């Protein structure tokens, strides 16, 4: 709770909303502009409300004082035209303010990094480096960006309309089937910013979260280098067996693990799944236990998800979880 100190009553009201996913916790270029506009509008509206309330109270009190009825016609005309004038002035002011905010949002310089975002029920695919280049890589539900850099997101959907919204960084932008939208992000401070699909998209819409990790350029580059890099070959017996199970069961038909024959695209790329914080779009922490729980029965954890229940023995399940855990 920083810049709301000028508005103590308001600050009290909104303090419950601060945190990782809040427009009031603005840490991105666009979000900071939007927050200034929002607080400005709230302040103006609060002043207007206060003035109207004072006028009402005064009218009540004065009428009780001298109970002689009507005010003169001239005075009434003056009051009405004063009120109309003030309304026009306030609305014009707010319109100009929002015009300048919109302009500031679209003024961002050319992008220094472009990332493809594909939304599908009910997770996010982030593809770095274009789709054809040799060192392109894909991740899921976790977007890493360098702090202070202008990042352009190319937004697409492969099924229904979704909406990309990370309140701390920027406004919403829809992802529409058959169309490409763009959104520009610039994080001003390092941090982990939670986002959420903001357009109802079916059963698991509420479990379609994402995290933007804004980090220093060097950290970002180290992360990208690792993601680009080859898959970790399992050495431990359990993990080796897990890899064999992955290829033998249907897993490989839906998931890609670069450097193996698994090249499905229905589900998230799992080449470096162990480097992610959560699985299933923010539903579960990424631990061996939750990986096993997810693989054992995704339909109970996230009913309707496009990952089916694949029948497995308990040995296969354990081996698969160990294999996943080693894919760093
Ligand atoms: Cu949604």
Q: Where are the domains of the chain?
A: 17-106, 237-325
Q: How far apart are CA 271 and CA 235, in angstroms?
A: 16
* pLDDT, position 3: 45
CA distance between the termini of the chain? 36
Q: Please state the pTM of the whole predicted model.
A: 0.86
Judged by DSSP in three states, 286 sits in coil
Give the span between the Cα atoms of 244 and 141, in whole angstroms.
26
What pLDDT was estimated at residue 50? 96
Sheet holding 181-185, edge to edge: 137-140, 123-128, 113-120, 151-157, 181-185
The full DSSP string for 113-141 is: EEEEEEEETTEEEEEES-SSSTT-EEEES
74-112: b or e for each residue (b if 16 or more CB lie within 10 Å)?
Answer: eeeeeeeeeeeeeeeeeeeeeeeeeeebeebbeeeeebe
Backbone angles phi, psi at 76, to 5 degrees: -60, -45
Per the CB < 8 A criterion, the answer to whether 278 and 272 are in contact is: no
185, 12 Cβ separation under 8 angstroms: no
Can you tell me the distance from the alpha carbon of 68 to that of 249, in angstroms, rounded to the nearest whole number? 91
Q: How many CA atoms lie within 13 A of 240 on its CB side?
A: 3
For ligand 1, the distance from its centroid to the CA atom of residue 267, given in whole angstroms, is: 17
Residues 169 and 195: their CA atoms lie apart, in Å, by 9
CB-count exposure of residue 117 (10 Å: 0-12, 13-18, 19+): buried
- Hunting for tokens 């693989």 — which residue is that? 295
How remote is the CA of residue 152 from the centroid of ligand 1, in Å?
21
Q: Partners of 117 in the beta sheet?
A: 126, 155
pLDDT at 63: 63
CA of 196 to the centre of ligand 1 (A): 8
Q: Give the Å distance between the CA of 303 and the centre of ligand 1.
A: 15
Task: Give the whole-angstrom CA distance, residue 132 versus residue 130.
Answer: 6
- Spacing, Cα 277 to ligand 1 middle (Å): 21
Q: How many CB atoms lie within 10 A of CB 272?
A: 22
Q: How far apart are CA 23 and CA 171, in angstroms?
A: 9
Peptide bond into 91 cis (omega under 30): no
3-state secondary structure of 21: coil
How far, in Å, from the CA of 288 to the mean position of ligand 1? 27
Report the distance separating Cα 226 and Cα 271, nearest Å.
10
Give, for all 328 residues of the chain, the pLDDT tens digit: 344 444 445 544 444 444 578 888 888 999 999 999 999 999 999 999 999 999 899 888 876 555 555 667 888 899 899 989 999 999 999 999 999 998 888 776 788 899 999 999 999 999 998 766 778 999 999 999 999 999 999 999 999 999 999 999 999 999 999 999 999 999 999 999 999 999 999 999 999 999 999 999 999 999 999 999 888 899 999 999 999 999 999 999 999 999 999 999 999 999 999 999 999 999 999 999 999 999 999 999 999 999 999 999 999 999 999 999 999 9
CA 124 – ligand 1 centroid, Å:
10
Query: Residue 37 in contact with residue 45, Cβ under 8 Å?
Result: no
Q: Which helix (H) or strand (E) holds 154?
A: strand 151-157
Question: What is the 197 CA–ligand 1 centroid distance (Å)?
Answer: 4
Which architecture does CATH list for 237-325? Answer: Sandwich (2.60)
């Amino acid at each position: 709770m920083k810049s709301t100190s000028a508005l103590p009553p308001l600050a009290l009201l909104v303090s419950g909303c601060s945190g990782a996913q809040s427009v009031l916790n603005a840490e991105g270029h666009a979000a900071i502009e939007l927050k200034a506009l929002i607080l400005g509008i709230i302040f103006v509206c609060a002043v207007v409300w206060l003035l109207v309330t004072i006028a009402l109270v005064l009218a009540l009190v004065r009428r009780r004082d001298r109970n002689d009825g009507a005010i003169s016609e001239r005075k009434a005309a003056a009051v009405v035209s004063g009120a109309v004038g003030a309304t026009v002035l306030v609305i014009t002011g707010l319109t100009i303010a929002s015009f300048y905010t919109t302009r500031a949002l679209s003024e961002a310089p050319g992008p220094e990094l472009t990332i493809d975002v594909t939304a599908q029920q009910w997770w996010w695919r982030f593809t770095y480096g274009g789709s054809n280049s040799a060192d392109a890589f894909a991740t899921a539900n976790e977007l890493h960006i360098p702090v202070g850099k202008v990042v352009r997101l190319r937004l697409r959907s492969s099924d229904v309309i979704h909406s990309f919204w990370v309140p701390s960084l920027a406004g919403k932008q829809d992802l529409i089937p058959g169309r490409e939208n763009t959104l520009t992000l610039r994080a001003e401070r390092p941090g982990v910013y939670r986002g959420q699909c903001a357009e109802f998209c079916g059963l698991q819409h509420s479990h379609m979260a994402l995290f933007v990790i804004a980090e220093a350029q060097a950290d970002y580059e180290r992360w990208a280098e690792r993601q680009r890099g080859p898959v970790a070959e399992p050495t431990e017996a359990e993990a080796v067996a897990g890899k064999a199970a992955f290829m033998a069961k249907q897993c490989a038909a839906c998931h890609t693990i670069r450097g193996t024959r698994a090249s499905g695209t229905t589900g998230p790329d799992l080449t470096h799944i162990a480097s992610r914080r959560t699985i299933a779009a923010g539903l579960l922490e990424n631990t061996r236990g939750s990986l096993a729980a997810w693989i054992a029965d995704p339909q109970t954890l996230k009913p309707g998800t496009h990952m089916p229940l694949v029948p497995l023995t308990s040995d296969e399940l354990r081996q698969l979880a160990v294999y996943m855990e080693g894919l760093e």
